[in-house]
Amino acid sequence: MMYFILLGFSDTPNLQRILFGVFLLIYLSVLVCNSIIILITKIDPDLYTPMYFFLGNFSFLEVCYVTVTIPRMLMDLWIQKGHISFLACAVQMGFFLMLGGTECILLTVMAYDRYVAICNPLHYALVMNHKVCIQLVAASWISTVPAVIGQTWLIFSLPFCASHMINHFFCDIPPILKLACGNKFVTETAVFVVTGSVVFIMIPFLLIVVSYGKIICNILKLSSARGRSKAFSTCSSHLTVVVLFYGTGIITYLQPKPNQSERMGKLISLFYTVLIPTLNPIIYTLRNKDIMKAVRKLLAKLLA
């Protein structure tokens, strides 16, 4: 059976046990923090709103997202062998792309929710009713599947006649394509322009920019400084997550190939696969009084 070798962090052999401990703590913190957000959005009646419904789904998505990469990385760090079968590599890439694409679309949905809440508040309850919210979340998940299947099939149908050593810690698109031989132009064009970068990065990003452009224009029209501050505070957390996630995604997948450094690519991948999911619960909770209040209520019940 054909297999690849994930080199991971083999260039730092003396630090692999330390890295294992660090990434294990990060993974557990992501699981715990996002699980708390999911729990409080389900049990606290004050959080039964579209914004927190989307946040609960986003937290569940984050748990799935990190589970695709970190457990495998922990295993490789512990046993210090990065062998991964052709099929397992394709499955990991497929799930990673699907969850990444879903996150792009869900962030767009959350931006639309804030747009309706701020720019059309009188019709908010009607436009963003529970049925619509469920449909938007379902569409975020389902719409990525056909494109990702086609994308993954295109990549793994290429002949791999070069080294099978992947200088990365998971099966991502750029390092896999570097191992392929033959005429890759058509495949790379389809992957980066048609099914990948344009559909799941640029189009959602442009929709978010348009939404926030209208939101900012509407907020600036408010006469009350307190009203402007409150409106901005409801969007700041989401906007911070969007900038972090899309910023690293654009650098990774839209950067010209000659400018891509393997070491830098690995570092950026660590940022958006490990660090951002760790920061997201903190970003969403620190400045959100409703969530902090719900967490205190939950702790009071658990300690009573």
* Spans of all domains in the chain: 3-303
Mention the CATH class of domain 3-303: mainly alpha
pLDDT for 163-207, tens place per residue?
Answer: 788 888 899 888 888 887 766 666 666 666 655 566 777 888 899
Lowest mean pLDDT among 179-183, 237-241, 243-247, 266-270: 179-183
* Residue 253: per-residue pLDDT: 65
pLDDT for 73-105, tens place per residue?
Answer: 999 888 878 788 989 999 999 999 999 889 999
pLDDT at 240 over 60: yes
| Sign of the dihedral defined by the CA atoms of residues 17, 22, 28, 30, in that order | negative
pLDDT at 210 over 90: yes
The structure tokens 């099939």 sit at 153
Lowest mean pLDDT among 192-206, 224-238, 283-297: 192-206
More confident position, 73 or 229 = 73
The structure tokens 């990991």 sit at 92
Helix, strand, coil percentages, rounded to 5, for the chain: 80, 5, 15
DSSP line for 39-91? HHHHH-GGG-SHHHHHHHHHHHHHHHHHHHHHHHHHHHHHH---EEEHHHHHH
Continuous segment of H or E residues that includes residue 4 = strand 3-6
What's the pTM value of the predicted model, to 2 decimals? 0.89
- Give the pLDDT band of residue 260 (cuts 50, 70, 90): low
3-state class (DSSP) for residue 165: strand
CA distance 208 to 154: 29
Select from 98, 16, 26, 18 the least CA-distant residue to 275.
Answer: 26
More confident position, 250 or 256 = 250
* Residue 258: per-residue pLDDT: 47
E-strand stretches of 133-239: 165-166
Measure Cα distances from 261 to 15, 57, 230 in Å: 22, 34, 42
Q: Which two tokens stand for residue 300?
A: 């009071």
